[in-house]
Structures are given as structure tokens and as C-alpha cells.
Amino acid sequence: MSPRSNRARPEGRYIMRKRIGADVAIIGGGVAGLAAARILADAGLTVRILEARDRIGGRVHSRIDPVTGLPVELGAEFIHGIPAETFELIDAGSVPIYEVSGEHWRSAGGKLSPMRDFWGTLENVNEKMSGIGRRDISYAEYLEKYAGGGKNSAARALAQRYVEGFHAARIETVGVKGLLRAENASEKLSGDRAFRMTHQYANIAALILSGDEKKSVKNATEISIDLETIVQTINWKKGRITIGAVSAAGAELEPISARRALITLPLGVLKSSPGDRGAIAFAPDLPEKRAAWDALEMGDAVRIVLRFRDRFWERRGFGGRRSRPSLEGMSFLHSDDPGFPTWWSCFPIRAPMLTGWAGGPAATRLLELDDSGIVAEAVASLARILGTDSDFINGELETWYVHNWKHDPFSRGAYSFVSVNGLAAQKRLAAPVAETLFFAGEALSMDGNIGTVHGAIASGRRAAMEILTEC
């Protein structure tokens, strides 16, 4: 069984208590909502965050492994590139980070070999994406028509697995225009580099709430946070909001009033059916918004972290086969395995942990299993990739960590991707309604950073400035 969550109490100018009303009610205590709250409170507005979970941070969800003392990330883990939104917080809080380094390896039929030019191979496959014309097409169509057809099938297969894994997408659904925007955004941020926080990523919530304490904010107000508050209804008219919510136990709470509301719920929750846990009913209804979020897609991904007795993969000939090389410098291990095709280590930190990752269709299949079934699939998959057997992996395994975001009622998926013709839907969903309802979240990062923490932070800040413009 996984150890219990180790929660860090955020610091900053906020309180956890209930208020009758607020200038702005923020639905969702993920990083988008927190970023917006900080700006609004610094501008002197009263802000009340309503969060369904018993913690803030949303899909940033960390635990601490009791044996190694290292963070185990069940949600966001990597800082992709050098985004200003994240690095400003890191610099202000003097947070230690380290850059991901090491070697990429591949496994084919259990045979391990170094992967010399991972990024170059992807670039060669995707080099024609900017030339598809004005009409958006799916990535599946792109691979068939623009990426060599039957030629260079190994590179095309690698590119498909990357899009499915990194973007948590189905290639028949994800749009090339959205992928191209994401690729351009990544290049601007040096996205081929990646970093980790030395301590748990969940501490980013505290960094956001604290703001930049070096700057004196004379008119800042407190941020009120209501945990385990599940919003069910939002009744609205211009300049007035009434929110109906229940507690985690299902008890009806006192109605909450505000002048404006910022909705930062994950796309999967917005798309949920009436009556589902976490679903929200708007009155009057928002048919144009509903059409917009229905045109966007929530992706599936599953990660599992396995902790072993030691770093057995660094031993030459591990598992009893003398020809098996040492993976001492391995950071990522790629394969075409149908279970968990991608694995990574903590390198350059030496720790007896490996993380398995599946995205897109592979994840969708896995997420129909219970946790014990996912563990069994992970063990079998890792054994196949390393060219050994499940008994050997199980003999080395000490514990595991997994969180099913698909079945989490307050997430209903991992993160968003832009479907074919989805860029226009992003704009429609992000647009304010009657100067009263505002929207933010990673799904509404319209500059190509969809699905990222820094994209979510930027969207929250964008929505906060829209609110301040109307005040």
C-alpha cells in the first residue's frame, strides 16, 4: 500500500475560514486559481477560493517516500524548459531545483541500446507540420500524408508514441495546429531542457500564495480558502453570483455570494454529466461555453512510481543475463511496450525508484484497472522492457505509488490537449461572460502551453487582469 500523503502547509497572506461573501469567488484551488487569487488580493479585492479536495494544488500532488525521503510526484513533476511563470516563483522563494540529465535508452524485444538522437528523430518526423496549409488535420492524418508513409516506420512510431505519451492524446483526435503551437512555445522556453524541484512540487502552492514578499503590497487583502467544499450550482446575473455547495460528506452548506466568479475547474469536470460528483449546473445555462468545452479534449495518462531494494538496473548483467548492460546513466527508457512504454529514473539523483508512464490509448486501457491491476501491469511491462521476468522485478520491489486521475471526480483526466480545430474553442471558452463569469486553467493556455503548470499559472493571471479591468 502507498504511504499516506505528506501535506505541506502553505504560507502567505491567506486564511482557511468561511466568509458570507466576496468580491471574487474562485472555483478550484489549483495553481490557476491560486495565481489569480494572489493578484486579486494584492489589488485589494476580497477573494474566496472554493476547493473540493482536502488540499490545494489540484493536479500538483506530492508525497514523500519515507525510506528515501524523496518526493514522489503523482501529478506534475517536470518543469519543462525555463518558463518565467515558474522560475519567478522559484527565484523569489530560493527554491532548490536540479536539471534532468542522463542518457536516453531504448528497448526492442528486451534488448537494450543507447538512443543517440531522440529529439532529432522527432524533429525529422514533424518538420512538415508548419506546411499543412490552413486546414487543421489530425496527427494520424499528418503521419500518413506528410511523414513518409510506409518509409521510416520506426521514426514515425517513435513520434506517435511521443505524442500519445507527452500530450496524453489520441493521434486520431489531436490537431496538428495545436501541436505546432505547443512545439513553437516549447522552443521559446528551451523545452528540450527539464528540471525538477529538489523538494516536493506541491510546495509551488505556497510559493504562489506567498507572492513576492520583497514587494510591499499596501492594500493586499486576505485570501479565504474553503476546503472540502464541492460546488454544485452557480446562479448568476450581471454583477451577482450565488453559489450552492455541499461538504465532502454531502451536507448542504450556506449559500455563498460574490460579485464575480472565476471558474478554474479541469476540463474533465466541466465536461462531466449533470448529477456526477463535482459537476456544476449554471443558471442561466451557458450553451456557448458548453459547446466550447465539448470541442476540447481531456487526455488520459497514468504514472506509477516503483521503489526497489536498490538500483538493480545499474548492475551489469542484472536479472541473470551477462550480456545485459548497466543503465547507470539512464534517465529515460523508451519502448513500444503496450503497457508502460516509457520509464524514467531520478537521475542525476541516485535513488532506487523508477517511474512508469503511459499516455493516450495505452493509459485509457490501464485506467480501467484497479490499483493492484495497474501495479501488476507495470511489473510485467518493466520486465518485458528490461528483458527479464516479473518474478525478478517483484523480488526487487518494495512499494509503489499511483493515483488514478481518470477516476478522480475532481479531475476526470490527466490534462488537456487541443483537438482538431480546437484552438478557436479555447478562445470561446476563455472569454468572460457579462463581466461576471471568468474562466482559467491549463486547458485555456492559448499560447501553446496547454497541459502545463506554467500554462495554468499564466491563464489564472490573465483571468485576474480581466477581472480587475471590469472592477
Tens of pLDDT along 163-175?
999 999 999 999 9
> What domains can you pick out in the chain, each with its CATH number?
14-60+202-298+416-470 (3.50.50.60), 118-188 (no CATH)
pLDDT of residue 150: 56
pLDDT at 225 > cutoff 80: yes
pLDDT of residue 219: 63
Query: Residue 155: pLDDT band by 50, 70, 90 thresholds?
Result: confident
Query: What does pTM read for this prediction?
Result: 0.92
Among 67-71, 137-141, 147-151, 438-442, name the one with the lowest average pLDDT: 147-151
pLDDT of residue 45: 96
pLDDT at 213 > cutoff 60: no
Percent of the chain with pLDDT over 70: 93
pLDDT of residue 12: 42
With beta carbons less than 8 A apart as the criterion, state whether 390 and 429 touch.
Answer: no
pLDDT of residue 218: 58
Q: Which of 190-194, 215-219, 286-290 has the highest mean pLDDT?
A: 286-290
pLDDT of residue 269: 98
pLDDT of residue 118: 79
Digit-coded pLDDT (tens) for 394-445: 999 999 999 999 999 999 999 999 999 999 999 999 999 999 999 999 999 9
pLDDT of residue 319: 72
Average pLDDT over residues 370-393: 96
pLDDT of residue 11: 42
Query: Residue 147: pLDDT band by 50, 70, 90 thresholds?
Result: confident
pLDDT of residue 122: 86
Digit-coded pLDDT (tens) for 257-269: 999 999 999 999 9
103: CB partners within 8 A, 6+ apart? 114, 115, 329, 330, 331, 332
pLDDT of residue 444: 97
**Which of the pair, 211 or 315, is modelled with greater confidence?**
315
